[in-house]
Structure 1
Amino acid sequence: MRRARVVVSHRAPDRPAIQVARGEAVTLGDRDRDWPQFVWTTIAEGHGGWMPAAIFDADHGPAMALSDYDTRELDADSDEILVLHYELAQWWWAENSKGLQGWIPARALEFLEVDDP
């Protein structure tokens, strides 16, 4: 497994995470200014969150999810070591030493060599 050290603390936004399943209908809004590969996504229940535009079959308006996605972000402090599972749109699905998992931006991480502590 790939590992990384957190170089900039990260906190999840103050809104509940949402999930979409492959084939689920959603409504896509504006692109994020800081992360243009993300689009504001509203699910059928009316809740919204940022999701990678690449997982949808349209750029704006009504769309269908091409894969499952969970917006959960991982709170992490500087110098914390995380296990990285996979990357999507410059964010990593990571796991901390307590087994908690979620997304963290690549720009908050320093990748470690296999032999690093």
Structure 2
Amino acid sequence: MHARLLRDYRTQYHDPVRFLAGETVRVDDRDTEWPEFLWATDPDGRSGWVHQRYLAGDTGETTAVRDYTARELDADAGQIVELIEEAGGWWWSATDDGRSGWLPARDIDLERNPS
């Protein structure tokens, strides 16, 4: 599915948390704005928000059940992106030039079928 970006979006975390399935991840807090996301630290010490579906537990040390990166996608208003996977109000998206990352669903027009 493709959609049009309603407003510019810029990366907030430039060295995002990332891990592979089976790695140990430390979980601290749950986000109040995006309650399906947990503040987690990867094995290399990078911290960031992780959707709970990527982890076996939601407190303390837990195991990653899927590969994950919190990389966000820099994109401009009006740009068409491919929507790949939704998680807690965010979409893993890709541009036609091969870049990919997360975008907030509130910035994406899902109502129209972009050309």
Large movers: runs of 4+ above 3 Å:
none
CA-to-aligned-CA distance 1:9-60 (integer Å, 9 cap, x gap): 2111143123111111010011112111111110122111110022211111
- Give the TM-score normalised by the residue count of structure 1: 0.89
> 1:31-110 counterparts in 2 under 5 A?
31-110=30-109
Q: Does 1:20 align with 2:41?
A: no
Aligned-partner Cα distance in 2 for 1:40–1:92:
18
Moved more, 85-94 or 32-41: 85-94
Scaled by the length of structure 2, the TM-score of the pair is: 0.90
The sequence identity of aligned pairs, in percent, is 35
Q: Which runs of 5+ in 1 are unaligned?
A: none
Q: Report SS of the residue matched to 2:49.
A: strand
* Distance in 2 between residues matched to 1:86 and 1:45, nearest whole Å: 26
Alignment gaps of 5+ in structure 2: none
**Counterparts of 2:43 and 2:81, CA distance in 1:** 33
SS of residue paired to 1:102: strand
SS at match of 2:53: helix
Q: Letter of the aligned partner of 2:71 in structure 1?
A: R
